[in-house]
Chains A and B, each alone.
Chain A
Amino acid sequence: MKRKWMALFLALVMCVSLVACGDDTQGDDNEPQNQEEEQKPENGEGQDGEVEPYEPTYGEVEIDFWQHMDGEQFQILVDEYMDLHPNVKINLLSVSFWDYGNKIIPALAGGTAPDILLYDLATATERLAYGQTVDLTDHLAARGFDPSQFRTASMECCMLDDQIAGLPYLTDVRILYYNKDHFAEAGIEEPPATWDQVLEYTEKLTTYDENGNIERMGFHTGLGNLFPWTMIWTYGGQELDGETPVFNSQEGIDALQMAYDIQEASGGYDNYQLFYEGTQSSTMSPFVMGDVSMIVDTNEFAATIMRDNPELNWGAAILPTSDGENNHWTWSGGFDLEFTDHGDEDRLNAAIDFGLWLVSKEAQITYGTKSANLMCNTEAAEAVAAERTDLGDEYWAAVMESYDYGRYHDRCLAYPDFTNTISSAYTYVMDGTKTPKQALDDAAEIVTQEINNYHLMND
């Protein structure tokens, strides 16, 4: 008996020391770079803190690049770059979109992440804050890189105080799509500019058949890609103020109340569920099928419409706001290029050079044109818009205007999941369980509690 417990205890000691060793190895990943920077002033900071201009000094080098978006287009770009730079070999790994997180998170934690990776723009600063990715500030300064080529909001999203977490690559915006035939039928001339108009139009557009079953739904905030925070923004509300949730302000309550009123005008919660379930089984969007007159969705939805129902007579507009004049906002997501350091300066430099090439205007146009993506290089975005005229002027006008004022989630290192809390509040309002004030106040309480928990854990 005693010997067995000794053995177990020894095993425990052994394992704990393995854990400790594991950490040291992780730490080692970032040390050599600093040492090398001191020894080779021509590639880093000089004696007086000024950044010396950068010259590529690597010969044959091999870097890894992981991504989870359009593998075909990235392969084209990788091949092009390798032709231009025969000394650089890039191993492109395309991973399935839904599993990417499960692959990249352990890789980042375990120090085996690739030299350059594509990942979620909104959380880029998180990874920098936790030391998993490289701060690009000095590298970019040494290369004389001008960040103004990027969409402002995207670049800001990648910055943590003065540090640069990644190079913005690809983004999106949400716009309002509407069915022009339905509008003509109902005698509506222009797409709505205010949410009151949306409510009014919804009442006019929603139709039922003889049995009282819904035939056509005017609009619902839960179909498509609107999400409650976007609506709250368009009422002038905010998500967070520092670490305090403020989405339960009067603006937030008004926004959710309007969402509820729109639901009531378009057939109520049960009909909404009917349409919503269809989308969950990956059938065609009800807007594409002509069952819904207006829908808020991403700019990439246009390509879906063209593919699934080219006959549809659709139009696009910027999102409505509370009064049509102020609070022009839309929600943006996107992806950026981030870099990890494995102690090999050549690989890091080669990766950064490749990354900078990828975000240059021509490379971005090559990627974005195929699927009319919204690129973060503003000139490239405009070029794609000029190229893909098949999607229509009205569409591009709405997209490019939204491009200018699109915003990302407020940063919350303490509780990144707060957005799901807001979504839950929205669901409580829609199914009638809680009033908007109740739902948002409860959500705010939860967020506050979770942020407190974070501080209990980390202070």
Chain B
Amino acid sequence: MQKREAITGYLFASPWLIGLFVFTLYPLLSSLVYSFTNYSMGKDFDFIGWTNFKIMFTSDHGFFQSIWNSVWYTLVSTPLNLICGFGVGLLMNSKVKGIKVFRCIYYLPCVISVVATTMVWSWMFQTKYGLLNQLLAYIGVQGPAWLTDPAWSKTALVIMGLWNCGGGMMMYLAGLKGISSTYYEAAEIDGANAWWKFWKITLPMISPLLFYNLLTGFIGGIQVFTNAFLLTGAGTDNSTNFYVYNMYTMAMNNRRMGYACAMGWILLIVTMSLSLLIWRKVGSRVYYES
């Protein structure tokens, strides 16, 4: 019986396994091989052992700052995105008239292409005439130079990322709708208040989704690249020179693809270790009904 289930398991998982061996493993392992070479996208390259890694940790001026930038961004954006998405999801679950319209509005940002939204945000963040600072001026606060002040550029990117929380919202909405109303009814009969209902019913039932968003938010945050690439570049004082952005410039501008692959593998190992940690610590507290 167990053996049959084992075979069924592999069978059901076979699309992914096939894809892994045919499409994913070759590029992944190539990059591992490249990380020990000086591959510059040319005809020839040589094996250079651990040189890339040595250089990375001892004589790359931008390396540690790029790590810090990505870490900062991850630590700030992941919880904020989580709270924002879940909060908006709860909000969208309210039974008020016209909520459907609001749901569409809140989801709209995810639908527009990145290229167009980048331009909009570059205008929104302008120091004097941008919308953000004009609104702040109404309440008497002088807004910073969002994109060019090294102290604020990462925050600007976090804000831009929060705007896309509509995606998470939809997910939570689907999840919240799936919580059986019998739980709530039973709780009300027992005289529970809204806070208890949230804490003891909603939160545990939605925890699988929260965990998903935590983990994928973390993995995505540590790889932050696109918004910086389109909006700020490396930023004043390298403030938005994220780890992946650094990899990109090393590979594309300086042709150091082998070096970039070495950086990529360090990133993968670190991300994997931290993800395992999150999996153990937080994942064990997730409530699944099965």
Contact = CB atoms under 8 A, between A and B. Distances in A.
Q: Is B one of A's binding partners?
A: yes
A15 B256 contact: no
Interface residues of B, number: 44
A244 interface: no
Interface residues on A, range: 35 or more
Interface stretch (B53-61, B92-100, B102-110): B53-61
A101 B41 contact: no
Q: Is the interface of A mostly helix, strand, loop or mixed?
A: helix
Contact of A416 (B38, B42, B237, B253): B253
A456 B54 CA distance: 10
A11 interface: yes
B136 interface: no
Nearest to B31: A19
A11 B21 contact: yes
Contacts of A15: 25-26, 29-30
B231 to A, nearest CB: 9
B166 interface: no
A278 B42 CA distance: 40
Nearest to B254: A417
A159 B46 CA distance: 26
B51 interface: yes
Q: Is the interface of B mostly helix, strand, loop or mixed?
A: loop
Given A26-B43, A126-B255, A415-B254, A277 B30 contact: no
A130 B43 contact: yes
Interface string A234-274: 00000000000000000000000000000000000000011
Contacts of A109: 41-42
A93 B236 CA distance: 36
Contacts of A12: 29
Contacts of A27: 43
Contacts of A181: none
Contacts of A131: 42-44
A373 B146 CA distance: 37
Contact of B59 (A129, A427, A449): A449
Contact of A18 (B26, B126, B236): B26
A4 B122 CA distance: 50
B89 interface: no
7 contacts: A12-B29, A132-B43, A273-B127, A273-B148, A277-B126, A280-B122, A424-B238
Interface of B: 21, 25-26, 29-30, 33, 38, 40-44, 46, 48, 51-52, 54-55, 59-61, 119, 122-123, 126-130, 145, 147-148, 234, 236-238, 249, 252-256, 258-259
